[in-house]
């Protein structure tokens, strides 16, 4: 598939030029490093220090969040009166991590506490009447809802009529009306002055616990022991890894790598992965397994794993979840194959600006993953739906820079329920409305999406010269890369920089791996300065590369471990042949 090369805007302002020069001098770093820092909003030595060495002390005061005082007062009242408290959360990684965090921490101080994860199939997303009824039967007086609840107007009222109070900890966009809960903690509330708006649900739960801990003058270091759960939630929910989320992720990874919990050890043992882990390992190794519990069986199993008190218990839970993950992978493969067949057999779908598909037999727990795969394949906003108790329910995924939530909201008159973010959403509608919704969604997207957004984009931060990657004989890795590594953890808002190098040639050793991937050794001006490069899916360029033609290459920098040695490797995003 053709790709757009989108170059970051030039840094020409006087302020940026001055900041680059200042950082270059104060930090004693190459100009390109200083430019990358300025692109991340860093203009001073102090800001650079906070970026490279995040401090928990820089987290905003939790009491800046709207309703936090009310939430803390109600929680403290429940604990003082020995009330039954229920921790209620969504069945995805953010939800189950949130529940594990709040349940495990509060259990240290309060005995009358339990947790509840709704059944994905019987109850669906969010707060359910079944969950409230279960709380009533257990004489629960306070429910803390995590990663859900911001749109549960009717359900909160239903609970209120039963004498059950709610504290909502959510991060999704609120609707026009807020639920009538004791406290609604959501940094995306328009009337919320909390300075950092990109917390995940687990992050909001952490802020509640942080506020309660400070209010009751307890040791905050005890709460900090659970920061690994927040890091996993951030990675899985693909929220920006900036500001406070960078602090959470930085120290969460530190906790995982230096003092791994039982659940981390169990997942590593079953996956065959070893420490240290980075953010991509959380996304691709840890998160899918935790998610599989709620997709295939029950999210409660994920909470059991994340709160396990021994290696034996953790391994038992992780083994069950690993089986769920294997089943998830099988279903994923089958549904993807089926969906691709449906698209290729439909001429109208092949040329549409959207993909909206429905099938009765598709597994509800996997349609979101398949929607992501189809978005990658056809690169257009995608919705996959399945039948759940007589209703159509499913997931939406979007392409870069297009707000799928807004597009769905424009068709909300045809929906019974929806919620989510710019790039991912969930929705429910009646079967009778499927065709009308499909057509309305296609019409809305076609009217609002620029054609260029339907071409995959590679965002290139800076051009780089291979000379900057030269190292001495004593160095294992070049200094430039060693500094760049400290930009991690990478993620939305601080992506691993994509560079472009121009006028490259292959040393003559290029070859195909598995008939589709390209392995090269490339140089720029100096043939003695070569780097290995891997280009997935670019095997079709082998003959042109071997012909000696010059090319430009977009890539990220990574380490390669082989035979006990570490070297720099270029992970290729795209190649453009520039010499005819």
Say if residue 515's pLDDT is above 90: no
- Is residue 76 within 8 A of residue 191, CB to CB? The reply is no
For the chain, what's the residue count?
580
pLDDT value of residue 292:
98
Q: What is the DSSP string of 350-388?
A: HH-S-EEEE-TTS-TTTHHHHHHHHHHHH-S-EEEEEEE
State the distance between the two ends of the chain, measured CA to CA, in whole angstroms. Answer: 21
Average confidence (pLDDT) over 215-236: 98
Residue with token string 């991509």: 280
Q: Helices H, strands E: what count in the chain? A: 22, 19
pLDDT band at 254 (very low <50, low <70, confident <90, very high): very high
- Residue 207's nearest CA partner among 217, 189, 220 is 220
Lowest pLDDT segment from 324-328, 470-474, 504-508? 470-474
Could you tell me if 82 and 196 lie in one domain?
Answer: yes
Longest pairwise C-alpha distance within the chain: 79
Could you tell me if 143 and 67 lie in one domain?
Answer: yes
Number of domains into which the chain is organized? 4
Please provide residue 190's backbone torsions phi and psi, each rounded to the nearest 5 degrees.
-65, -30
172-196, pLDDT tens digit by residue? 999 999 999 999 999 999 999 999 9
Say if residue 299's pLDDT is above 80: yes
365-377, pLDDT tens digit by residue? 999 999 999 999 9
Last residue of a domain, one of 422, 457, 492: 457
How do beta strands 382-388 and 140-146 pair? Answer: unpaired
Query: Do the domain assignments include residue 306?
Result: no
pLDDT band at 9 (very low <50, low <70, confident <90, very high): confident
pLDDT value of residue 11:
82
- Is residue 21 within 8 A of residue 43, CB to CB? The reply is no
Host H or E run for residue 33: helix 31-39
Read off the pTM. 0.94
Q: Name beta bridge partners: 114.
A: 86
Say if residue 2's pLDDT is above 90: no
Q: Examine residue 276 and say whether the peptide bond preceding it is cis (omega within 30 degrees of 0).
A: yes
pLDDT value of residue 121:
87
Could you tell me if 425 and 469 lie in one domain?
Answer: no
How do beta strands 565-577 and 140-146 pair? Answer: unpaired
Which pair of tokens denotes residue 571?
């992970």
Residue 9 burial by Cβ neighbours in a 10 Å radius (0-12, 13-18, 19+): exposed
Q: Name beta bridge partners: 140.
A: 84
- Residue 253's nearest CA partner among 272, 223, 281, 219 is 281
524: which DSSP letter? S
Say if residue 272's pLDDT is above 80: yes
488: which DSSP letter? P
Please provide residue 396's backbone torsions phi and psi, each rounded to the nearest 5 degrees.
-115, 145
Which pair of tokens denotes residue 108?
């240290």
Cα–Cα dist 248/241, whole Å: 9
pLDDT value of residue 12:
74
- Is residue 523 within 8 A of residue 312, CB to CB? The reply is no
Query: Do the domain assignments include residue 333?
Result: no
pLDDT value of residue 125:
86
Q: Tell me, what CATH number does 242's domain have? A: 3.90.1640.30
Could you tell me if 447 and 479 lie in one domain?
Answer: no
Find the helix packing angle between 243-258 and 201-215, rounded to 10°.
90
Show the domain range for 557.
461-580
- Residue 201's nearest CA partner among 167, 170, 168 is 170
Last residue of a domain, one of 457, 491, 517: 457
Q: What is the mean pLDDT of the chain?
A: 97
537-554, pLDDT tens digit by residue? 999 999 999 999 999 999
Could you tell me if 74 and 218 lie in one domain?
Answer: yes
pLDDT band at 336 (very low <50, low <70, confident <90, very high): very high
Cα–Cα dist 370/334, whole Å: 10
Query: Do the domain assignments include residue 556?
Result: yes
Cα–Cα dist 274/491, whole Å: 21
Q: What is the DSSP string of 467-486?
A: GGG---TT-SS-HHHHHHHT
How far, in Å, are 121, 357, 452 from residue 339 at the CA level?
21, 8, 25
Query: Do the domain assignments include residue 276?
Result: no
Which pair of tokens denotes residue 284?
């691709």
Burial of 212-248, coded b for 16+ CB within 10 Å and e otherwise, reads: bbebeeeeeeebeebbbbbbbbbbbbbbbbbbbbbbb
Could you tell me if 34 and 88 lie in one domain?
Answer: no
- Residue 109's nearest CA partner among 68, 78, 134, 144 is 78
12-70, pLDDT tens digit by residue? 787 799 999 999 999 999 999 999 999 999 999 999 999 999 999 999 999 999 999 99
Query: Do the domain assignments include residue 304?
Result: no
Query: Do the domain assignments include residue 532?
Result: yes
Query: Do the domain assignments include residue 268?
Result: no
Host H or E run for residue 297: none
- Residue 301's nearest CA partner among 287, 319, 274 is 319
Say if residue 116's pLDDT is above 80: yes
Could you tell me if 447 and 480 lie in one domain?
Answer: no
pLDDT value of residue 1:
78
Could you tell me if 95 and 30 lie in one domain?
Answer: no
407-445, pLDDT tens digit by residue? 999 999 999 999 888 999 999 999 999 999 999 999 999
State percent of the chain over pLDDT 70.
100
135-148, pLDDT tens digit by residue? 999 999 999 999 99
Could you tell me if 112 and 211 lie in one domain?
Answer: yes
Average confidence (pLDDT) over 80-93: 98
> Does residue 252 or residue 11 have the better pLDDT?
252
pLDDT value of residue 331:
98
Residue 359, Cβ neighbours under 10 Å: how many?
Answer: 14
Q: Name beta bridge partners: 396.
A: 383, 425
Query: Do the domain assignments include residue 327?
Result: no
- Residue 125's nearest CA partner among 306, 433, 407, 391 is 391
Average confidence (pLDDT) over 205-214: 99
285: which DSSP letter? I
Cα–Cα dist 117/546, whole Å: 56
Cα–Cα dist 177/459, whole Å: 38
pLDDT value of residue 204:
99
Could you tell me if 133 and 165 lie in one domain?
Answer: yes
Cα–Cα dist 236/97, whole Å: 10
Could you tell me if 447 and 473 lie in one domain?
Answer: no
pLDDT value of residue 13:
80
Say if residue 73's pLDDT is above 90: yes
Residues 6 or more apart whose CB falls under 8 angstroms from that of 146 comprise 87, 88, 89, 90, 95, 98, 99, 102, 169, 170, 201, 202, 204, 205
- Is residue 183 within 8 A of residue 168, CB to CB? The reply is yes
Cα–Cα dist 565/580, whole Å: 38
Cα–Cα dist 518/138, whole Å: 60
Q: Tell me, what CATH number does 356's domain have? A: 3.10.310.30
Say if residue 510's pLDDT is above 80: yes
Could you tell me if 40 and 71 lie in one domain?
Answer: no
Last residue of a domain, one of 222, 237, 259: 259
């Amino acid at each position: 598939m053709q790709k757009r090369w989108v170059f970051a805007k030039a840094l020409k302002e006087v302020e940026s030029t001055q900041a680059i020069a200042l950082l270059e001098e104060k930090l004693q770093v190459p100009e390109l490093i200083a430019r990358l820092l300025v692109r991340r909003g860093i203009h001073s030595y102090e800001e650079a220090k906070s970026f490279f060495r995040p401090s928990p002390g820089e987290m905003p005061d939790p009491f800046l969040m709207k309703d936090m005082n009310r939430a803390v007062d109600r929680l403290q009242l429940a604990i003082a009166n020995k009330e039954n408290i229920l921790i209620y959360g969504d069945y995805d990684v953010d939800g189950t991590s949130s529940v594990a965090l709040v349940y495990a921490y509060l259990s240290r101080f309060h005995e009358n506490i339990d947790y509840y994860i709704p059944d994905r199939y019987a109850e669906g997303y969010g707060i359910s009447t079944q969950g409230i009824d279960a709380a009533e039967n257990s004489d629960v007086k306070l429910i803390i809802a995590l990663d859900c609840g911001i749109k549960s107007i009717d359900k909160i009222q239903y609970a209120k009529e039963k004498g059950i109070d709610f504290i909502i900890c959510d991060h999704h966009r609120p609707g026009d009306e807020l639920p009538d809960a004791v406290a609604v903690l959501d940094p995306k509330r328009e009337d919320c002055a909390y300075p950092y708006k990109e917390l995940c649900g687990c992050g909001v739960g952490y802020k509640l616990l942080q506020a309660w801990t400070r209010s009751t003058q307890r040791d905050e270091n005890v709460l900090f022991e659970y920061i690994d759960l927040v890091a996993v939630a951030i990675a899985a929910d693909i929220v920006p890894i900036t500001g406070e989320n960078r602090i959470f992720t930085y120290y969460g990874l530190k906790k995982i790598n230096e003092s791994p919990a039982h659940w981390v050890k169990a997942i590593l043992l079953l996956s065959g992965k070893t420490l240290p882990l980075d953010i991509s390992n959380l996304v691709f190794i840890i998160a899918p397994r935790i998610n599989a519990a709620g997709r295939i069986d029950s999210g409660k199993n994920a909470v059991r794993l994340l709160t396990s008190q021994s290696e034996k218990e953790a391994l038992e839970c992780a083994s069950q979840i690993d089986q769920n993950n294997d089943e998830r992978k099988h279903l994923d493969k089958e549904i993807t194959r089926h969906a691709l067949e449906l698209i290729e057999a439909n001429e109208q779908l092949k040329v549409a600006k959207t993909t909206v598909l429905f099938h009765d037999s598709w597994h509800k727990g996997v349609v979101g993953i398949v929607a992501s795969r189809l978005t990658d394949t056809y690169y257009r906003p995608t919705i996959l739906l399945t039948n759940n108790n007589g209703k159509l329910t499913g997931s939406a995924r979007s392409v870069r820079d297009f707000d799928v939530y807004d597009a769905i909201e424009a068709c909300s008159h045809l929906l019974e329920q929806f919620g989510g973010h710019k790039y991912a959403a969930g929705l429910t509608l009646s079967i009778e409305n499927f065709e009308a919704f499909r057509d309305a969604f296609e019409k809305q997207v076609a009217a609002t999406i620029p054609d260029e957004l339907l071409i995959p984009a590679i965002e290139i931060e800076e051009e780089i010269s291979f000379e900057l990657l030269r190292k001495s004989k004593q160095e294992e890795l070049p200094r430039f890369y060693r500094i760049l590594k400290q930009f991690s953890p990478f993620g939305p808002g601080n992506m691993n920089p994509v560079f472009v190098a121009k006028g490259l040639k292959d040393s003559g050793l290029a070859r195909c791996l598995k008939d589709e991937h390209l392995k090269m050794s490339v140089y720029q001006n100096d043939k003695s300065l070569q780097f290995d490069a891997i280009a997935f899916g670019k095997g079709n360029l082998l003959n042109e590369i071997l012909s000696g033609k010059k090319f430009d290459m977009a890539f990220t920098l990574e380490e390669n471990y082989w035979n006990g040695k570490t070297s720099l490797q270029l992970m290729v995003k795209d190649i453009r042949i520039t010499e005819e």
